[in-house]
Amino acid sequence: METEYLPRLNGPPLLYRRWRTDPATRAARQRKAVFLGHSQPTHSGMLEDLAVSFRAAGWETYSGDVRGHGLSTDAATPLGHLAVEDGWAHAVDDMRHFYERSFEGVAWENRLAVVPNITALMTLDLLKTWPDLAKNIVLISPPPNQAALALFGKAFAQVRIRLGHADRPDEQALHHLYAFLGAHLKDRRHPADVMSADRELIQKVVTDPLGWPVPTSAYWYNIFSGMSSSWKWPKGLQVKPGTRCLVLFGGEDAMMRDGGFLPPIERFLARIGVSDVASARVPGGRSALFLEERKLGISARVLAWAGETWQPEGTYDEIDVAELASDLIAGIAGARGDGRLKPEELVELCYNAVDDESRWTEIIYRMIYEAERSGADNEEALQSRIAELMPHWERAFNLNQQVMMSATLGVILQTVVDRLQIGVAILDKDQRLLHRNPTFDAAVRKIFHESETPADEDTFVDWSTQRLMSNRIPQRDRSARAHGEAIVVYEGAPVGYHFHPDVLKQTSVQREGPASILVLRAEDDRTGKEDSRRLLIELAYGLTGKEAEIALLVAAGKSLDAIADELDILVSTVRGHLKKSFQKMGVHSQSELASRIMSGPVGWLK
């Protein structure tokens, strides 16, 4: 594979790839060339398997990254962006540039275009001015010629642009688009699952630094504008006679809806003069089936069709957007049916989506349903309705993201706490146990003898928690008293810490709401007094082992130089640990640190 950059006056240089056939083979017969396009979340670098298969069959193979994709970017056109005003026109011109280079000197009958998703739309738009582009054109999962879908997408993007998302990544738009596309999938775990059922492939795409970008609202505006313009041809305009077209789609393809959107596409292609229109469903595929060459054999299907040794046959039951939307709304909404909702009901759906994301998908389908029924002349009304709803929509989306982030952080923190073997329990204002981690159970088993404890596990944990809470010694430090901090002891040894974090002040007033934290870290090798002091410092102030060790030496009156010598580390390292201890303990000097330590748990031990 060879690469080069094609300079452009109106945008970034375009990355161009070629997979050449053997020179002797090229000289022996007439050249045949195929150009491979990419989709919105992919780039030409992902097409290696497909390209190699075409080359092995004797076809010179070419591909490239349209601006805003892969490596065709610059400061003005970063990954996932197209200029608001003329981004689509320039992207279509990029495709022209690729085709000109790829098909130069190649006879029309030996040209093959294999274009999925957005490059399929760009190719359709380009055919208006280049009707003899190629004899054989394969459209893979093209966004369908359903005006209501393009109308909603364009209106949604325009509202997002007005909110300031024109040239910066818009996570909300990406999230909703792929949730909308994947609404029919039963096993959807990630938005990218609309591309493939292969989890390994999905992971490869989303972790590719050049793939799965978060596009800007300007990008989506251009894509949906292009979706609208690509399927609108002036009356009488046609492609070169003899042009053939194959539409490939997956068995679970979000774009084709199980073939329901194919009939109007086939009628359109026949109307613009395509003499041979064929369609084929690829079992096991979804919208990115072109990435699964090894599994699905896409090149073999295409070449058999191009060589006229395979003519796929099949009929598909047509479904219009209103019917599709109505069915999906009924499935999501249940008793609410498919009728028009009042504005306040749509707002309620927005906030319901904080806990149930399907409500956003329901809103989208309801608006598309209305757009389909009212016709394309209703673009201004649709945009106005989206604009009225968007502040609530955006707020609900942000809340949802915060909830998900908090849940994720909770899982991570629990993993970290368990790894550090720290037992954590959450108590209500009456000191009843609300939640604890497994390490808490293990810690109390170490503290109490088996013969003393109830046999039932939950009863045992409740019993042990109450006994520990009755063995608290409040701290004398004013700051510690303000947070209800107390040492927890058992049989004369410190085993934990109890405190009331500020973050729980609001929930502590609620009935059975979290009010305080009980932390335990009983270890089998916790023997000496020094070990006990360091353990208490770690528990009380969240210090690391080294920070606690240095803090204790400071509290004992040792200088930083002496501490460095004793621990065999640099003085600068001592200062670094001490600075972090200051921040965690809320003090500003060594004397304050010593005072807080000696009025706290270590002072009690001493």
73 band by pLDDT with thresholds 50, 70 and 90? very high
Amino acid, single-letter form, for residue 579: K
DSSP-based three-state secondary structure for 4: strand
**Cβ(362)–Cβ(396) under 8 Å?**
no
Residues constituting the chain = 606
Q: How far is CA 214 from CA 142, 172, 182, 206, 390, in A?
A: 20, 9, 17, 11, 19
Closest CA to 329 of 383, 376, 370, 390: 370
Q: 603 pLDDT exceeds 70?
A: no
Each domain of the chain, given as residue ranges in start order, spans: 2-143+235-306, 321-411, 420-605
Residue 37 CA to residue 44 CA, distance in Å, equals 7
Instruction: Please state, in angstroms and rounded to a whole number, the distance separating the CA atoms of residues 87 and 579.
Output: 52
Q: What whole-number distance in Å separates Cα of residue 517 and Cα of residue 598?
A: 22
Pick the CATH number of 420-605 from 3.50.30.60, 3.40.50.10490, 1.10.10.10, 2.130.10.10: 1.10.10.10
Q: Read off the tokens for 39.
A: 């989709």
pTM of the predicted model as reported, rounded to 2 decimal places: 0.74
Q: Count CB atoms within 10 A of the CB of residue 268.
A: 18
- Give Cα 288 to chain centroid, integer Å: 17
HSE, side-chain direction, 13 A CA sphere, residue 221: 23
- Asked whether the beta carbons of 99 and 112 are under 8 A apart, the reply is no
Output the CA–CA distances (angstroms, integers) from residue 85 to 11, 176, 315, in the order listed.
13, 24, 40
| Confidence at residue 335, expressed as pLDDT on a 0 to 100 scale | 47
pLDDT of residue 462: 87
Q: Which residue has the higher pLDDT, 247 or 404?
A: 247
Whether residue 191 is predicted with pLDDT greater than 90 in this model: the reply is: no
Q: What is the C-alpha to C-alpha distance for residues 97 and 35, in angstroms, rounded to an integer?
A: 12
Instruction: Tell me the C-alpha distance between 125 and 190, whole Å.
Output: 31
Chain segment 20-62, per-residue pLDDT in tens: 987 766 555 678 999 999 999 999 999 999 999 999 999 999 9
Coil vs helix vs strand at 222: helix
Average pLDDT for residues 465-486, to the nearest whole number?
75
Whole-number Å distance between alpha carbons of 18 and 163: 41
**Which of 161-170, 237-246, 338-347, 430-439 bottoms out in mean pLDDT, i.e. has the lowest?**
338-347
Q: Is the pLDDT of residue 312 over 50?
A: yes
The pLDDT value recorded for residue 339 is: 56
pLDDT at 405: 82
Residue 334: band (very low, low, confident or very high) from pLDDT cuts 50, 70, 90? low
Question: Residue 340: its pLDDT value, please?
Answer: 65
Average pLDDT value over all residues in the chain: 87
The dihedral built from the CA positions of residue 536, 539, 541 and 542, taken in this order, carries a sign that is positive
Of 605, 606, 553, 598, the C-alpha closest to 578 is 553
The residue-averaged pLDDT of 513-519 equals 88
Distance of alpha carbon 35 from alpha carbon 116, whole angstroms: 11
Tell me the percentage of the chain whose pLDDT exceeds 90.
49
CB 83 within 8 A of CB 90: yes
Confidence tier at 527 by pLDDT (50, 70, 90) = very low
Question: What tens digit of pLDDT does each residue of 131-185 get?
Answer: 999 999 999 999 999 988 999 999 999 999 998 889 999 999 999 998 888 887 8
**What's the pLDDT score for residue 222?**
97
- The confidence score (pLDDT) of residue 288 equals 94
Phi and psi torsions of 524, nearest 5°: -65, -30
Tell me: domain 2-143+235-306, CATH 3.30.2310.20, correct? no
